[in-house]
Amino acid sequence: MDINILLALQAFREGAGDIFTKFFLKMSYIGEMTIVLGIIAEIYWCVSKEYGHYFLMGWSGNRIVNGLLKVTACAYRPWIRDARIHPNTEALAEATGYSFPSGHSMNAASLYGGGAIRKELPRLLRIVLALIAVLIGLSRNFLGVHTPQDVLVGLTAGVLVMWLTGKLMKWIEAHPEKDILVMCIGIAVSVAVAVFAALKSYPEDYDSAGKLLVDGKKMANDTFKGVGWAIGYLAGWVLERRFVGFSTDVSMMTRVTRFVTGLLGFYAVSLILVPLIKNWIPGVTGIISSCFLQMFFVSFLFPWCIKRFERNEK
């Protein structure tokens, strides 16, 4: 049934021209990992530290869950399962890893779905955020890079992780001294997922020419990225709590300054340092290290910099 739905959407996409395709490409874009992380980082630095931690913790958890499910299910992408599926070529660039569940859908659930389930937010805002999450998931079907099952499970699992994250944060608020315990458990789980992904066997199916259809080891790279992000967040979270303690209760000018400098710093790390580290340190270690640095910048290094700078400015 999943393939039949994709074929129907493909026929509509090809018959309708570029209007809907461009719209859904934009929706898919705002569900990409770096875009979602960048938005969450700005919320954390400039808008609300509490909500920022909630989104960062939930997004990190979702990356671990997504990575674990992907290398466990080892589900092939739709066009590999059925040659009749012709995905949009622009969307293929971000269609990395195994298919199940959809990473974009879990990203969307982390930020937009995570906001939609916060009952203290205005009702209209929650409806809009929920709609965005659904449209991001639908975009992956419309563009032919995920099945409806991939998206449905991704959105559901992602929102569940965010709900559990909210519960965990309330528990930590009541037991602030347990932050190191939470960090250690989270890092242990992340390392266990990385070991599982590195050591497990992967399906080896070949086409009629004898070419390997999917290299499972390469597909696991998304899982290793999630491990790096999760460990980077957890380490930065505890260090910030204990040694920085910055606040988002600041003037509008300070918020604007943080927004601009933080955005520049984030993309300098993402577009310059991350590729450099991957080139310097090959393999799984380079992937985990580069993603660790990216998240550690968000959760600790930039907060440490702005706290020091703003203190010196007073």
Kindly report, residue by residue over 184-213, the tens digit of the pLDDT.
Answer: 999 999 999 999 999 999 988 887 777 888
Q: Is the pLDDT of residue 312 over 80?
A: no
Which one, of 126, 135, 80, lies nearest residue 105 by Cα?
Answer: 135
pLDDT the model gives residue 313: 52
pLDDT the model gives residue 79: 87
Q: Which two tokens stand for residue 148?
A: 């409806």
pLDDT the model gives residue 276: 92
Share of residues in the chain with pLDDT > 90 (%): 78
> Do residues 64 and 226 lie in contact, with contact meaning Cβ atoms separated by under 8 Å?
yes
pLDDT band at 281 (very low <50, low <70, confident <90, very high): very high
pLDDT the model gives residue 93: 77
Q: Is the pLDDT of residue 42 over 80?
A: yes
Q: Which two tokens stand for residue 104?
A: 């974009």
Rounded mean pLDDT, 144-165: 96
pTM: 0.93
Give the tens place of pLDDT for each residue, 255-274.
999 999 999 999 999 999 99
Residue 215 vs residues 8, 16, 206: alpha-carbon distances, Å: 29, 35, 10
Rounded mean pLDDT, 224-252: 95
Rounded mean pLDDT, 78-83: 88
- At a CB cut-off of 8 Å and minimum separation 6, what does 221 contact? 96, 97, 287
Task: Write out the chain in H/E/C secondary structure.
Answer: CHHHHHHHHHHHHHHHCHHHHHHHHHHHHCCCHHHHHHHHHHHHHHHCHHHHHHHHHHHHHHHHHHHHHHHHHCCCCHHHHCCCCCCCHHHHCCCCCCCCCCHHHHHHHHHHHHHHCCCCCCHHHHHHHHHHHHHHHHHHHHCCCCCHHHHHHHHHHHHHHHHHHHHHHHHHHHCHHHHHHHHHHHHHHHHHHHHHHHHCCCCCCECCCCCECCCHHHHCHHHHHHHHHHHHHHHHHHHHHHHCCCCCCCCHHHHHHHHHHHHHHHHHHHHHHHHHHHHHCCHHHHHHHHHHHHHHHHHHHHHHHHHHHHHHHC
pLDDT the model gives residue 82: 85
What's the burial of 99, exposed, middle or buried (CB within 10 Å: 0-12/13-18/19+)? Answer: buried
pLDDT the model gives residue 97: 81
Q: Which two tokens stand for residue 288?
A: 């985990």
Q: What is the DSSP letter of 77?
A: P
Share of residues in the chain with pLDDT > 70 (%): 99
Determine the residue type at 163: W
Q: What is the DSSP letter of 81?
A: H
b/e string for 115-140 if b means 16 or more Cβ within 10 A?
bbbeeeeeeeebeebbebbbbbbbbb
Task: Quote the strand ranges of the chain, DSSP E.
Answer: none
pLDDT the model gives residue 139: 94
pLDDT the model gives residue 212: 84
b/e string for 276-298 if b means 16 or more Cβ within 10 A?
ebbeeeeebebbbbbbbbbbbbb
Rounded mean pLDDT, 5-15: 87
Q: Is the pLDDT of residue 88 over 80?
A: yes
Which one, of 24, 15, 17, lies nearest residue 141 by Cα?
Answer: 24
pLDDT band at 298 (very low <50, low <70, confident <90, very high): very high
